Amino acid sequence: MKKAYIILAHKNLDHLVRLVERLDDGNSRFFVHLDLKTDLLPIATFLAKKECITLVKRISTRWGGFSLAEATILGMRAIRDSNLTFESISLLSGQDYPIKSNKEIDEYLSSSEFSIFLDYFPLPNYRRWITGGTYRYTKYFFGINRIALFFSKSVNLISTLVPLLARKLPFHLRPYAGSQWWTIDQYALNYILDYVDQNPEYYKFHRFTFAPDELFFHIILLNAKDERIQESIVNDNLRYMKWIREDNAHPEILKKEDLQDLSASNSLFARKFDPNEDHEILNLIDQQILTT
């Protein structure tokens, strides 16, 4: 099965190398976006010798900002520009790791009646956010530093007094959100890129959305009038993540005490891992889970 992986990485480059080596089954290509602030010199030789790796145009990314969605789009464009055909395309972070073998990943994806695996929910969602979470697209967001936050609050206050400044989703789209990480087919990838190219105002709108990587792609796919898209979507992104609280900004770091849950999971991938907090868990996954 021909697979493509878009990997967004910014630290722990040894883990990135291990992730690629584990997923490299001879039928996969890797489109790696390495944050512009990160020194790639430590893995330059590795990147150069792996013909299956394409280093995506690098930008500086910031949590909560549009840059993470932009880096993903750059990876998607790199896939289309490669002129290669893939049956499955997965978005991973540089802190992910498979919890199924490459053979099992192939078998699952090729036998599924679905080809777009996406975690999603409509907004507002009062179970996750007391306010429903609509602020994520109705409020302006310019960044997390002190000046940016002050500017955001000021503009949002003014927008309540000046209706023309109020933020509304373009084209009367229905709002959806969900996990940033997904697996899609090439038809969906082309649909998203075509939509972005044909609707630049949608792209522009999300430049001032909070954490648009968790809305941008969901809104496009779940509002699609394309019957093939709608019939291909399942509400499951095939990722194991551990949340102590649903409203936390980040999932918990997975450790060796999580091995049993990882082994029992039906997910294909898990996140997130950090060797500085637990250096044994990946070896245990290799030895006790990835043996097929």
| DSSP code per residue over 164-204 | GG----GGGPPPEE--S--EE-HHHHHHHHHHHHH-HHHHH
CATH code, 42: 3.90.550
Domain identity same for 88 and 149: no
State the Cα–Cα distance between residues 181 and 126, nearest whole angstrom: 22
Is the per-residue pLDDT at 249 higher than 70? no
pTM, two decimals, is: 0.93
Domain identity same for 115 and 189: yes
Domain identity same for 254 and 111: yes
Domain identity same for 33 and 118: yes
Query: In the predicted model, what is the mean pLDDT of residues 270-289?
Result: 92
Question: Residue 247: which pLDDT band, with cuts at 50, 70 and 90?
Answer: low
Question: Residue 246: which pLDDT band, with cuts at 50, 70 and 90?
Answer: low
Tokens of residue 271, six digits: 């996140």
Domain identity same for 9 and 118: yes
Q: How high does pLDDT run on average in the chain?
A: 93
Domain identity same for 67 and 196: yes
Looking up tokens 């630049």 gives 200
Domain identity same for 195 and 246: yes
Q: Which residues fall within 8 angstroms of residue 183, CB to CB, at 6 or more apart?
A: 88, 89, 90, 91, 109, 116, 117, 237, 238, 268
Query: In the predicted model, what is the mean pLDDT of residues 15-29?
Result: 95
Write out pLDDT tens, residues 50-73.
999 999 999 999 988 999 999 999
Domain identity same for 109 and 52: yes
- Among 144-158, 247-261, 265-279, name the most confident range: 265-279
Domain identity same for 148 and 182: no
Counted domains in the chain: 2
- Phi first, then psi: give them for residue 236, nearest 5 degrees: -165, 115
Q: Find the domain containing 47 and state its range.
A: 3-126+174-288
Domain identity same for 271 and 160: no
Domain identity same for 154 and 240: no
Domain identity same for 98 and 149: no
| CA separation, residue 199 to residues 104, 108, 186 (Å) | 38, 34, 20
